Amino acid sequence: MHPRTIGWLLVAAQAVLILVLVLLPSGDAWPTPRWLEVTGLVIGGLGAVWALVAALRLGERLTPTPVPRDGGQLRTDGPYAHVRHPIYTGVLLIVVGLTLRSGSAVVLAVGLATIAFFHVKARFEEGLLAERFPEYRAYTDRTPRFVPAPWRRATSG
């Protein structure tokens, strides 16, 4: 199957997972006091801001699928100096925020499935990036996938 087709299928699966997370009803698997609701809202809000900053940093290189744009350059500065997939990190923070606020075991299960899905999607994208950019392997050696490593010094290329 062509990488662009796989890319669009991954985008469709991601949309379904996120839509399900948003539409599932709250549950009573754990209490959701006001402080937990606010914490979930803050985490989700920070994720949305982080994803937006990362998307803006890509500028015209931003694509709707995980397939890199022809003629693009590898971005390793700004948020990309801290994690390889800052947009995914932002979306995952939104997922965590939604899950915390839900009190639902079903939302938790879908949230965990979404996290696993993003690892698969990132691996697919990383294979394409490694083919396109010879310097990508060195970038992966120094830059975590989703969670910044505060003990590592951020570098930009």
DSSP 57-114: HHGGG--SSSSPPTT-----SGGGGT-S-HHHHHHHHHHHHHHHHH--HHHHHHHHHH
User: Is the overall model pTM greater than 0.75, yes or no?
Assistant: yes
What is the count of structural domains for the chain? 1
Residue 64 in tokens: 């709707």
| Mean pLDDT of all residues in 137-155 | 83
DSSP SS3 for 133: coil
Is residue 101 in a domain?
yes
106 in Cβ contact with 17 (< 8 Å) = no
Q: What is the pLDDT of residues 115-140, one digit of tens each?
A: 999 999 999 999 999 999 999 999 99
Domain with 53, as residue range(s), is: 3-23+31-142
Is residue 62 in a domain?
yes
> Which CATH number is 46's domain given?
1.20.120.1630
Distances (CA, A) of 77 to 52, 123, 154: 15, 20, 9
Q: What is the pLDDT of residues 68-98, one digit of tens each?
A: 988 888 999 999 999 999 999 999 999 999 9
Is residue 112 in a domain?
yes
From the CB of residue 115, how many other CB atoms can be counted at a distance below 10 Å?
17
Is residue 108 in a domain?
yes
